[in-house]
Structure 1
Amino acid sequence: MKIVLVGYMGSGKTTIGKLLANKLKISFLDLDEVIEQGLEDSISNIFNGKGEIFFRKKEHEYLIDVLSKKEKLILSTGGGTPCYSGNMETMLNLADHVFYLKVSIPGLVKRLLLEKEHRPLIKNIDNGDLPEFIGKHLFERNNFYLKANHIIECDDKDPESLVAEIQELLT
């Protein structure tokens, strides 16, 4: 079984992915980590040094590679992954389940304010401007996210109950 988690940064893809992988006793991969290991560099260095077009091309290649090789896995993607290079269609074709972890704008703001320093995309955005920034991004990305097989509403739910909700949809 191949499961892919998509959603905006801070939506819980890595947290939920690791918990779910543990419950199902299958491997968990974070696509950004796979790319960093493969290219032996950090995502921010790749973006800054070689540009977004290079990064998106590599992201697409690694996505196909991971989903073509592994028999059973849970894959957490970057927030922008579904929006480029036909990646959402690739995920829908090569994975058994694609879950969109949907969090409201206020929910994302609350989560991301806590980890802003570790998020290069939003690190330099004023706290007051964060809701508008996230809202604009979500508007641009939502059409891709909504193509997922399953949409999981994540606001006000703890990770364990979200994992249980996903497990129910797998049976």
Structure 2
Amino acid sequence: MKTKKKIVLLGMMGSGKSTIGAILSKKLNKSFVDIDKKIEIFQKKKIHQIFKDKGEVFFRELEQDFTLSFLEQKKDIVISIGGGAFLNEKIRKSIKDNSLSFWLDWDAETLVKRTINNKKRPLINGLNKSEIRKIIKERNKIYIKSDFRIFCENHKKNEIVDIIKNILEKNENSN
């Protein structure tokens, strides 16, 4: 199957964007770009270390530059963006203009369980469950602006990929 647009996966940290993106790109025969991984390679540091050493503002500027550069390329690719990237208005506009976006939506409790004890998640490191739930609730107000919302709860990875593929096929056939 050949889709005409870039595919962007977005959602909270722990939603499986990188994992789903890697599987989806193979099934679609497209390249896969994980923006956080690209930043880590460029900086030669993990994201949590970048936050610690240079702060969130520095990271967000890098995230914007990397994300926009991949969105503006002519190549059709699958892109996994960081959990906070879609909150950035420039990134969101470019995603809307240059791609089809899929929000990997999970129950807040699932996301809390997946992330609460992960020390590599700088934005939630040290937060309690209710504080993490509040971040999820706030971000969901922006994530809803994606083209498609995928309810991932109770689905295996390959099922989520198949749901996205089916949407892409329907979208392709309607054009």
Same fold, TM-score > 0.5, yes or no: yes
Post-superposition Cα deviations, 1:37-95, rounded to whole Å, max 9, x if no partner, equal: 22333322322222211211121111111112251211111111111253211211122
How many percent of aligned residue pairs carry the same amino acid?
A: 36
> 1:116 aligned to 2:118?
yes
Paired residue for 2:136, among 111, 135, 138?
138
Moved more, 116-125 or 43-52: 116-125
| TM-score (norm: length of structure 2) | 0.86
> 1:89 aligned to 2:93?
yes
> 1:13 aligned to 2:13?
no
**C-alpha RMSD of the superposition:** 1.8
Aligned length: 165
> 1:44 aligned to 2:48?
yes
Change (3 A) 1:118 1:40: closer
> 1:72 aligned to 2:76?
yes
Q: Distance in 1 between matches of 2:113 and 2:62?
A: 31
Structure 1: runs of 5 or more not aligned: none
Structure 2: runs of 5 or more not aligned: 170-175
SS of 1:156's equivalent? coil
Post-superposition Cα deviations, 1:102-132, rounded to whole Å, max 9, x if no partner, equal: 001112123335x62443444434xxx32x1
Asked if 1 retains the 8 angstrom alpha-carbon contact of 2:63 and 2:85, the reply is: yes
